[in-house]
Amino acid sequence: MVRLAGGTALFLGALIAALPAQVPATDIRNTETPESNTHFTLREYGSLQEWQVKRLRLRRQILTAAGLLPMPRKTPLRPQIFGRTEYGDYSIEKVLIETLPGFYLAGNLYRPMGRKGRFPGVLGPHGHWKHGRLENTAQVSVPGRRISLARQGYVVFAYDMVGFGDTKQLDHDFGGKAEQLWSFTPLGLQLWNSIRAVDFMQSLRDVDDSRIAVTG
């Protein structure tokens, strides 16, 4: 016979009392299964304040799913910018930043030339192309997009996804149960790299830290 302590018994009793009187005949997760052809109607927000409430909920949900709530402590990026090559109206440099102690994120920095002032910054994640940030085919030219933006007067940081290009300390689909237990996943690391990429862009003297965008 299993004996329950008084507090445990009271808790279980309250839990059972809170259960619905009738169990649904079917589980909605089995009857309503969205897929790639499912049409979703975006909700309309009547005010900025209403959207801001939703925005905070979405942000919290994403950070929780990525294992970034609470947010980790930001350590020094120790940026390395080297190998500058000039092409008349723009330049390309190689970049390494330390997004976590001992983990380096690699990328390229595209800068306009022949202009003065502080420029808007653009982050350039590349997506799942075979050659990552260096993909240059008839279907897509990732460097071409960055070059075009630099020529228009933007400073662009094109950085690797985890497991691509020069950022191969971990595979793109790294991890297992042990890593999940500590909320260390590809989703979390990729998002953290992007957060630190924003920090890197805002630290550059020729970038207007109030005007940061992303395209990819």
Q: Does residue 1 carry a pLDDT above 50? A: no
The whole-angstrom separation of Cα 151 and Cα 173 is 35
Per residue in 44-88, pLDDT (tens digit) is 999 999 999 999 999 999 999 999 999 999 999 999 999 999 999
Q: Does residue 174 carry a pLDDT above 60? A: yes
Q: What percent of the chain has pLDDT over 70?
A: 89
What are the beta bridge partners of residue 103? Answer: 100
B/e letters for 60-98, b = 16+ CB within 10 Å, e = fewer, are: eeebeebbbeeeeeeeebeeeeeeeeeeeebebbebbbb
Listed residue (22, 23, 2) closest to 12, CA to CA: 2
In the 8-state DSSP scheme, what is residue 104? E
Structure tokens at 164: 């691509």
In terms of DSSP bridges, do strands 207-214 and 80-86 run parallel, antiparallel, or are they unpaired? unpaired
Q: Does residue 4 carry a pLDDT above 50? A: no
CA distances from residue 208 to 42, 89, 103, 188, 193 in whole angstroms, order as listed: 33, 20, 27, 27, 20
| Cβ-contact 188, 99 below 8 angstroms | no
Q: Phi and psi of 22, rounded to 5°?
A: -130, 125
Per residue in 24-48, pLDDT (tens digit) is 777 877 788 888 899 988 889 999 9
